[in-house]
Structure 1
């Protein structure tokens, strides 16, 4: 009998300790009320852990009795702590609603596809550079966005001048003229204005950068053969925000800037102001600048009007003035004499006025009218030669977004007027050129099932371009299709392709290198055409509660026909002509991200690019293009407290225009930032191993009076250290 009593007591104790045999919980998104798959739920202080399945439900067995705390974690959502006293009587699963964390809200919605979908549900492959990373790169180079793009997989920033450091952007190995740069969807950076574009876009007011690689002509028309880069500005919120930055570097650069924004129920504003000063910098003491003496200033006010809950009107005006002088350091510093007289100056004024009106016809549908006018004036001077030009660009786009069950439909039309005028030149050599484009487009995004989403579009452009020597009309019909398939919560894949075109232009990376001197006007040159596509596979998973891993493998292919090529006649003049030999670019990108306990983040990216132009003699490889590039970055961060990072980049051999190959090279960088309340202090060491071209061979050839310059294939300025202070109010 005594043994039976002891056994019964043990049984009672066991039942009381594990009174909750089964406990069920269902996790949903707070806004959409849709269930969330893969949410981690822990019982604090125990080894009890579970994850939600495809229906958003998780089950626990044998939770200890008494007061317990459930910890609920999901990437992109705010962590929740739920205190409960077990056992809990249940008639159904406990429902918990998770809210997206504020830091993630701006990162997951993309606007470049105009459907305002989350990036996970967009069939078109869109890469985003998030606000956090933009903030980090702003510390390294507050003056412009070149650092943000340079360190992205599959993108390179190509320097085009040895003395003035002008640069253009390449995607998938193709020349800069095949990439369309946008600011809030406005195409104001093409043609003549492209030469200094990425050097005149400050990062301080950006919330996100969206990159679409491959043909993207359905919504954006000409020039989107290699892809689109859209710089998205921040919009004001009810809580006022003011950011200021002061930066100083060892190479003589000073940056002073600020950005502020606020709104109320009917009115809002934002204001960006930035001044950059660069002293002439000659790192290798060859008497020629690696960084030019620079003074530039940008001011960009925007006004936001909200007459009612359905309508929004945004009016903005961005003004930039830049003066850059490079060349012989004695000339730049006003010490010119008979032995020192070479210089290169770039003086530019850029003014872009924009108007954006949107009206919600109902809860889900949107009518939008966007218009802009861009004025860009630039003068280039070298001894005994000067080039002056003005580019006018007007852009108007009207679109309507209609959402019906499982579908988003976009219909639109736009007009583009682009006019370049060369000043102070006789008519026979004036490079004047005008392009007028009218386009109609339609796009359908269809959620066929919860796993399969299809996006298809069609565009028709009617183009008329002309100068004093010829005029031509062309019609382009541009289909495009993209598909997204979600195999499960971990695996997904996208595939897409389409057609594209590029109207003729004189302003390329090659012609920039010789300041358009002895360049003849366009004559009987037709538009270039292309087709291509991308395909990728994505994998994302969590290991335990501490690790998150995401992988992306993307393949790309682009073929350009009717390419325009630069030739030289017997008298030494340069001119463009079409060739029937194609340009082809194919390769792949591999990206990996590993996060440990949200503090340590490892990013790795590898790009293989095999781009060839059949019209090239001897070597078909596109010049100044490495076949292999590797990006590595390790970041440690305690949010709003401290961060530091180490970066490494490998660049393979490149062919120069003289058919010789460069050496491969590594470059490394380090950054750290400490936050003290509203003030943060940062330091950076960019390229601290001092990789630079002059270590391999002198960039400058010939005499001081008549120098020539090698192609630029790596850093010219060497290592750069900078430090600064940021104030956030």
Structure 2
């Protein structure tokens, strides 16, 4: 009997000791009270760690007696610290509510899919460039967004002029005309404006950039074959914000700009103003500019009205004036003589007026009306030749978002009018062209389960395009489907595809290089059509309390039929024709992000692109397109204190239009920024190893009076150093 009593006492003691050592916790989302899986819980200074299961619970064992601090962490949520005195009597698990991080909420909400869902729950694959990175790239090039896009995986900025530095962008190896550029959902940057578009979008007022790669015509109509880039502006908050920047570079560029915004209950405003000045810059002393003499100015006021909690009205007007002169540096600097007379000028005026009306019919449903009118005037001049034109663009879109249980439904219609008129040219020779489009669309986003989400849509566009030579009417039925599957809290996958089209245009990268000289008006050219898709796998995990790793592997494919190709006749005139031979682009992108203790961040991106045009003789590779590109960036940052970064980019060989191949090359950059309260000082060294095309071969050929220029395939200006001051109030 004595032995039994001793045994029972031992069991009771062991059980009591286990109860003291074993601690249970349940973690939930503070917003919706749902359990959170994969939350990391650490006992500070002990090495004890646990993660929550699918029902949000976790157990921690062998916690030492005395006061202990528990650290609860999860990506996208504010960290929470709790101090408890162990051993602790516990009848039910301790419940912890984590609040979502405000920074993370801003980071993951996307609007380009029209549903304004979080990126984690959007079946369509959307890449976002967040405010932090935009701010960093703005230090490097405050004048425009070219640096933001140039350093993104799968996107390249293609310079189209040797002396004036005009540029276009490519996604997945396809020409710039296949990418739709948007500002807050408005398409004001295509066709005649394409060579200057990314040079006239300042980054100072942006909150994020959203990129959809692959066919997106179901959402945005013509021109979204390769993808969509949507530049999202900041919206005013109750607390006023004022940002100012002054920047100076060694290549003679000066930038002065400011952005301010504020709102109250009924009224708000934002205002962007930016002036850029660039001196003529000749780095290789060949008497021709690598950077043109430039003066441009942008002002963009917006007024926000909030008549009640359900209604928002936004009225905006963006005005940009730009004057760019490149060529012989003697001419640019007003020292022309008999031996120096070559120049290239680009003078443009852009004015875009927008109206955006939103009305919440209830807490979840939204009626939206967007309308804009864009005026773009551009003049191009070289010796003995001038090209002037005006492009008018009007856009109206009305949509209704209906949210029901587990579904978001969008119904909409839009009208697009695009008209180009060449000035000072006989009607029979003018490159005039008009396009009218009426479209209807519908989209369903369905949360079939917590793990599986499906998005499907359909657009029907009726298009009429014409000039003095011909007129055509075409109808396009554009289905699209995307799916998201979450295997668990670490693994997810997206797959999607659809159809697309592009109406005819004279304004491409090739025609931009010769200023549209000897280019005949379009005649009997039809729209191009496409199909394609993307598929990806995403992995994200935390390792211990210090490491976060994110990996994404994406594959893409696009096929364009009825392609328009540029041909030259026996007398030297250029014209476009359709070909039955397709263009195909396929490849993959690999992206990795590693974060250590939130201070060190390593980004790596690799792109493999195989894009070929079957109509090209002998070598069918798309010109000026590297098959392999590698992006590397290492950043150290102490938030609101100091940051510094080192970047490296590798670009593989490219085929030129003369069928020659370029050299592969590396370029490197360095940046640093120090914050002193409301003032920050930054320095930047872009391409400090001085990679430039003239180191391999002279870009300019022939005499000063009648020069010709090689295709541009890398930097022309060489290394660039700049420094500046930012003030945030």
TM-score, normalization: structure 2?
0.98
In the other structure, the counterpart of 1:336 is: 336
The alignment status of 1:215 with 2:220, answered yes or no, reads no
Equivalent residue number for residue 614 of structure 2:
614
1:437-516 equivalent positions in 2, closer than 5 A: 437-516=437-516
Corresponding residue of 1:3: none
Distance apart, 1:47 and its partner CA: 1.8
Mapped to 1, the partners of 2:237 and 2:165 lie a distance apart of 37
For the Cα contact (< 8 Å) 1:19–1:86, is it kept in 2?
Answer: no
Query: 2:151 aligns to what?
Result: 151
- CA drift at 1:418: 0.3
Residues 148-187 of structure 1: pairs in structure 2 closer than 5 A: 148-187=148-187
Q: Is the 8 A contact 1:257 1:274 kept in 2?
A: yes
- Cα distance in 2 for partners of 1:617, 1:463 equals 33
Output the CA distance in 1 between the equivalents of 2:328 and 2:229. Answer: 35
Aligned to 2:287: 287
Aligned: 1:570 with 2:567:
no
Task: State the distance in 1 between where 2:85 and 2:371 align.
Answer: 60
Are the equivalent residues in 2 in contact too, given 1:19–1:64 (CA < 8 A)?
Answer: no
Q: Secondary structure at the match of 1:105?
A: helix
Separation in 1, partners of 2:12, 2:52: 32
| C-alpha distance in 2 between matches for 1:619 and 1:12 | 83
Q: CA deviation at 1:15?
A: 9.1
Tell me, yes or no, if the aligned pair for 1:411 and 1:441 is still in contact at 8 Å: yes
Cα deviation for residue 481 of structure 1 reads: 0.4
Decide whether the 8 Å contact of 1:588 with 1:609 is kept in 2.
yes
Q: Aligned in 2, Cα 1:577/1:47: closer, same or farther, shift over 3 Å? A: same
Residue deviations 1:434-460 (CA, integer Å, cap 9, x gap): 000000000001111111111000000
| Alignment deviations for residues 45-67 of structure 1 (CA, whole Å, 9 cap, x no partner) | 22221111122111112323332
CA shift for structure 1 position 650: 0.4
Paired residue for 1:396? 396
Distance 1:257 1:13, change over 3 A: farther
Which range moves more in the overlay, 170-179 or 31-40?
A: 31-40
In structure 1, runs of 5+ residues without a counterpart are: 1-6
- Aligned partner of 1:120 in structure 2 is 120
The SS at the match of 2:446 is strand
Residue 13 of structure 1 and its aligned partner are, at CA, apart by 11
Shift of residue 86 of structure 1?
2.9
- Are the equivalent residues in 2 in contact too, given 1:17–1:65 (CA < 8 A)? no
Does structure 1 retain, via aligned residues, the 8 Å contact 2:160–2:195? no
CA displacement at 1:152 relative to structure 2 = 0.3
Does residue 266 (structure 1) correspond to residue 270 (structure 2)? The answer is no
Count of residues in Structure 1 that have an aligned counterpart in Structure 2: 724
Q: Which residue does the alignment assign to 1:518?
A: 518
Verify the 8 A CA contact 2:21 2:64 in the aligned structure 1: no
In the aligned structure 2, how far is the partner of 1:36 from the partner of 1:726?
40
Answer whether contact 1:534 1:554 (CA < 8 A) is retained: yes
Query: Where does residue 3 of structure 2 map in the other structure?
Result: none
Could you tell me which residue of structure 2 aligns to residue 605 of structure 1?
605
How far is 1:88 from its partner? 3.5
Kept in 1, the 8 Å contact 2:26–2:52? The answer is yes
Please tell me whether the aligned partners of residues 16 and 65 of structure 1 are also in contact (alpha carbons under 8 angstroms). Answer: no
Q: Matched residues in 1 for 2:681 and 2:75: separation?
A: 29
After superposing the two structures, state which structure 1 stretch, 83-92 or 590-599, moved more: 83-92
Give the Å deviation of 1:12.
Answer: 11
CA contact (8 A) 1:18 1:63 kept: no
SS in structure 2 of the partner of residue 63 of structure 1: coil
Distance in 2 between residues matched to 1:445 and 1:696, nearest whole Å: 52
Displacement of 1:93 = 2.1
Separation in 2, partners of 1:500, 1:512: 24
1:76 Cα deviation from its structure 2 partner? 1.8
Match of 1:635 in 2: 635
**1:32 to partner: Cα distance:** 2.3
Q: Which residue of 2 aligns with 1:583?
A: 583
Tell me the distance in 1 between the aligned counterparts of 2:118 and 2:635: 26
| 1:631 Cα offset (Å) | 0.4
